[in-house]
Amino acid sequence: MGKISRLPEFGIAVFSFLLHFVWEFLQVPTYAGMAELNHWDGVKVCTSATFGDVGFALIAFWTTSALARSRHWYLRPKTAQLLVFLGVGIMLTVGFEYYYTNVSLRWTYSELMPLVPPFGTGLSPLLQWLAIPPLVVWLARRHVCGEKGLERAP
């Protein structure tokens, strides 16, 4: 487990899962019908959404890694790298939210969800992808470097 836990993707995936899982439950009232689901069905929906979020985070990580030419960019992230990481996640979020709310109609927003033009994306998923990824990068970096090693990261 020690070698696997030092892979960059491990920290990105684990911390993404933990943070997005909490967010998914907090935003339940902003999706139509979610608050009325029985408990276990709600847990399954939120868990499924969280795995999707982890997939987005890994795609954003790998895209940033390709542009940075290093999977270790998160140890000393430059502003441009963080913006790519955030931007890819936001683009995936906007695209998938549009598809699921307007094309496949897999879910709908409740009246509590503010919508952001031009695609009518829910504000909560956008805020999710602005707030969580910087924390994921920080936690993954801290996981690898330790508290005292943050200043000495390569």
- Residue ranges per structural domain of the chain: 2-149
Res. 147: pLDDT tops 80: no
Q: What is the pTM of this model?
A: 0.91
The pLDDT-based confidence of 145 (bands split at 50, 70, 90) is confident
Average pLDDT over residues 120-139: 97
The pLDDT-based confidence of 93 (bands split at 50, 70, 90) is very high
User: Which residues in 18-53 are b (16+ Cβ under 10 Å) and which e?
Assistant: ebbbebbeebbebbeebeeeeeeebeebbeebbebb
In percent, the amount of the chain with pLDDT more than 90 equals 87
If you average pLDDT over every residue of the chain, what do you get?
93
pLDDT at residue 1 in the model: 56
Q: Helix H segments across 6-150?
A: 8-26, 39-68, 79-98, 123-149
